[in-house]
Amino acid sequence: MDEDILQDFLVEATELVDQLNEQLVDLEQSPSDRDLLNAVFRGFHTIKGGAGFLGITPLIEVCHRAENVFDKIRNGDVEYDAVAADVILRAFDVISDSINLLNEGHRELPENNPTLLKELDALTKGQLAAPVAEEGASQPKLSLPADVDPDGDMTDDEFEALLNQRDQLEGGAGVAVSQAEKALQLPEGLDPDGEITDDEFEALLNQRDSLDTLHVGGVAQTPSLQLPEGMDPDGEITDDEFDALLNQRDLLEMSAMTEPEEEIPVMKPVAKPAVARAQVASDDDEPVSSGASKAPAKPGTTESTVRVDTKRLDEIMNLVGELVLVRNRLLTLRTTQASGEELSNAVANLDHVTTDLQTSVMKTRMQPVKKVFGRFPRVVRDLARKLGKEIELELRGEETDLDKNLVEALADPLVHLVRNSVDHGIEMPADRIKAGKPKKGTVILAAEQEGDHILLSITDDGKGMDPDVLRRKAVEKGMLDEMTANQLDDKAAFELIMSAGFSTAEQISDISGRGVGMDVVKSMITKLNGSIDIHSVLGEGTRMSIRVPLTLAILPTLMVSFGEDNYAIPLTSVQEIFDYETGKTNKIDGQMMVRLREKSIPLYFLTEWLAPEKVKDDYAGDKVVIVTIGNQRAGLVVEQVNGQEEVVIKPLGMMLKKVAGYAGATITGNGSIALILDLPGVIHRFQ
């Protein structure tokens, strides 16, 4: 495989897979949307084309069949209903997994599951029969979507009937089929007992093969290629169809088979019926939501490239040009003893250019939040189907841009929250009707920019949370005593669900409540310097709002100092600042504590660690910065508080990676280096 071409293909395919993920679910909502249908068809077609070029056979097999199905759907021969969607989505998962494997550097793909291929073929073939074999209306169940059992299995009976339909069709469609074919099949293929054993089947196929070989002599090859696929009733070949046809030919050549291609779709799955059946069982163990459960695993493979609009690059190039001009200006000024005014003009210009440049470069890291949202229609669809709920997912503000790293980091927490909404939030349809709500629940996933923050919210119109139940649970679990619990206001009660070890689900379902709970979500969001807020009304629904900074690279901090040394404390952790007063402190068990509104908070004297030579007896005049670390609070005693500053985080490099207590460093306005404190690490140093 040519690695360069493969990489190009993967970039394109990854994008297509992302698009298809969304389009497929949309299509289920509006199956008659021609544009959408064409887009999906083109998606599979393009992936197949690339895979064909590179000879990735397992991928070609699936794409080819999926494309066939969608061609049928386009022609109105097949309906894209939930059952068909399940098959197609599973095929899509195979494609998506294959692309992921290739992206991760694997070059050998696993063989396709024959059952899936069989089902895809059935999807195409069975429906193909429907319009022609109208007299077969007595067996409408056999025609396509219905004959694929939800369990994914196909009984021998069904298969047999399917074959009959095929044969009838081939006769009816006038594919220059000799009567010999029918004659051959009937006596040999059909047992009086109506069952086909594997052996019989094999024999049947062999006969057909030999028959077909005979055909080829007499029948023009091209029509026989085109007809069985039933491309066009109008007898005209469009470009797309022609392409498809060519691809089929290619496929045929690739698999080095000598039969006319009409056989291929059937041949493969049937050739190993025993294997196929053996795998059905294990297949069924995987629930419909296999795609959904895999979804959160995706962000593990982080992309190392970004696509940037050339316009943005031009903008940057232009600004760099400006920067060079300013530099030249400054160099000239240096040699010519320029006046102060000229110099300050040049410096002001430099200020402008660099600020613009910084913004432009930052923008190249921005990606639309759509990248995360794109997976949710599928997650919700699969979950809802599995749980028997009816849910509509609404996406808002998909075009909102945020930092690439954030896009990746937010994926997991969001998946968890959306699953929670679907699983615990939205009620069963019957319950909803009883409660006087529309049968179909709504989950809204929204993103919007709020100054230098992004606000993400997950809103559902489900049953909401009962603060009293939460209070009671907290007491039952021994997390709070009854008094404290009763004193919590509703908001604080909702926040209980984010404490470790708090799961109110009576029964742990395999969808949410797998131990990885809201506490993990909260810690992930906190790590991104974000916050999470819960609002819920019993009976009306729940709204979870996540607020994260636009970028991970810039951190709002509180600057503190000891003499000349600056330190930055992440502002999200800072609660309040007050003067150190000896009267308010006391020593308990060797630990200094400070009393704040009737509560005792441990005090840590940063000097002891940061500048041991400066440790003094009297800290009067110093400041106490109260910070929150997880659920605890601590007071840090610092010499001076210099105010708020937004800083660019710079890594400390490998030599200092093992030194605890620092999250990085930054360069302050006056050019000196400030160290950014990592609060959990700092506290750890003192314990």
| Beta-sheet strand order (sheet of 453-460) | 391-396, 441-450, 453-460, 541-549, 531-537
Give the total residue count for the chain: 687
Minimum Å distance from CB 611 to another protein?
7
Binding flag, residue 656, another protein (CB under 8 A)? yes
| CA 623 – CA 314 distance, rounded (Å) | 48
Answer whether 88's CB lies under 8 Å from 96's CB: no
Select the span of 5-13, 127-135, 191-199, 666-674 touching another protein (CB under 8 A): 666-674
DSSP string covering 291-318, please?
Answer: HHHHGGGGGGS--------HHHHHHHHH
Which residue's structure tokens are 């097949």?
A: 78
- Please report how close the Cβ of residue 565 comes to another protein at its closest, in angstroms: 7
* Residue 615 near another protein by CB under 8 A: no
Burial class (CB in 10 A: 0-12, 13-18, 19+), 603: buried
Tokens matching residue 118: 């069989």
| Of the residues 187, 217, 478, 653, which one makes contact with another protein according to CB under 8 A | 653
Backbone angles phi, psi at 641, to 5 degrees: -110, 120
> Within the chain, what is the greatest distance between any pair of CA atoms?
109
**Residue 20 in contact with residue 93, Cβ under 8 Å?**
no
User: Please, what is the Cα angle at 172 between 167 and 177, to 5 degrees?
Assistant: 65
The answer to whether 662 contacts another protein (rule: CB under 8 A) is yes
| Residue whose CB is less far from another protein, 235 or 653 | 653
Of the ranges 218-226, 380-388, 585-593, 655-663, which one interacts with another protein (CB under 8 A)? 655-663
3-class SS of residue 28: helix
Cβ closest to another protein, residue 542 vs residue 607: 607
Among 211, 680, 685, 686, binds another protein (CB under 8 A): 685
Per rule CB under 8 A, is residue 667 in the interface with another protein? yes
DSSP letter for each residue of 450-463: ETTEEEEEEEE-S-
Q: How far is CA 613 from the centre of its chain?
A: 52
Q: Which is nearer to another protein, 264 or 674 (CB)?
A: 674
Helix (H) or strand (E) holding 600: strand 599-605
Strand 623-629 and strand 574-579: the pairing is antiparallel
Binding part of the chain for another protein, among 17-25, 128-136, 339-347, 644-652 by CB under 8 A, reads: 644-652
Judge contact between 625 and 569, C-beta under 8 A: yes
Q: Rule CB under 8 A: is residue 502 a binding residue for another protein?
A: no
Kindly state whether residue 670 participates in binding another protein, applying the rule CB under 8 A.
no
Looking at 88, 636, 665, 683, which residue binds another protein (CB under 8 A)? Answer: 665
Work out whether 304 is an interface residue with another protein (CB under 8 A): no
- 391-420 residues near another protein, rule: CB under 8 A: none
Q: Does 327 bind another protein (CB under 8 A)?
A: no
Q: Which amino acid is at 230?
A: G
Helix (H) or strand (E) segment spanning residue 68: helix 57-74
Q: How far is the CB of 628 from another protein (least distance, A)?
A: 23
Shortest Cβ 361–another protein spacing (Å): 12
Looking at the Cβ atoms of 583 and 671, the one nearer to another protein is 671
The token pair at 604 is 């840590």
Q: From the list 489, 657, 670, 687, which residue makes contact with another protein (rule: CB under 8 A)? A: 657
Q: CA 649, 651, 652 angle in degrees (round to 5)?
A: 125
What is the smallest separation between the CB atom of 667 and another protein, expressed in angstroms?
A: 5
671 binds another protein (CB under 8 A): yes
- What is the nearest approach in angstroms of another protein to the Cβ of residue 681? 10
Q: At its nearest, how many Å lie between another protein and the CB of residue 654?
A: 5
**669 makes contact with another protein (CB under 8 A):** no
Residue 686 as a binder of another protein (CB under 8 A): the answer is no
Nearest distance from C-beta of residue 391 to another protein, angstroms? 46
CB nearer another protein, residue 469 or residue 611: 611
**Residue 675 in the binding site for another protein (CB under 8 A):** yes
Question: Is 661 one of the binding residues for another protein (CB under 8 A)?
Answer: yes
Q: Which CB atom, from 354 or from 503, has the smaller least distance to another protein?
A: 354
Q: How far is the CB of 354 from another protein (least distance, A)?
A: 11
Which of 340, 654, 669, 670 is in the footprint of another protein by CB under 8 A? 654
What residue has token string 């939501």? 289
How are beta strands 441-450 and 391-396 bridged, if at all? parallel
For another protein, the binding residue among 82, 324, 620, 659 (CB under 8 A) is 659
Cα separation, 657 vs 686, whole angstroms: 19
Q: Residue 305 interacts with another protein (CB under 8 A)?
A: no
Q: Which is nearer to another protein, 107 or 327 (CB)?
A: 327
Closest separation between CB of residue 669 and another protein, Å?
13
Torsion-angle region of residue 653: left (phi > 0), alpha (psi -120 to 50) or beta?
Answer: left
- Residue from 47, 610, 638, 679 touching another protein (CB under 8 A): that is 610
Q: How far is the CB of 673 from another protein (least distance, A)?
A: 4
The CA distance from 653 to 662, in Å, is 11
Footprint (CB under 8 A) of another protein, residues 546-605: 565
Angle between helices 57-74 and 264-271 (to 10 degrees): 130
Q: Going by C-beta distance under 8 Å and a sequence separation of 6 or more, which residues neighbour residue 307?
A: none
Of the pair 502, 686, the CB lying nearest another protein is at 686
Q: What residues line the site for another protein (CB under 8 A)? A: 565, 609-612, 650-662, 664-665, 667, 671-673, 675, 685
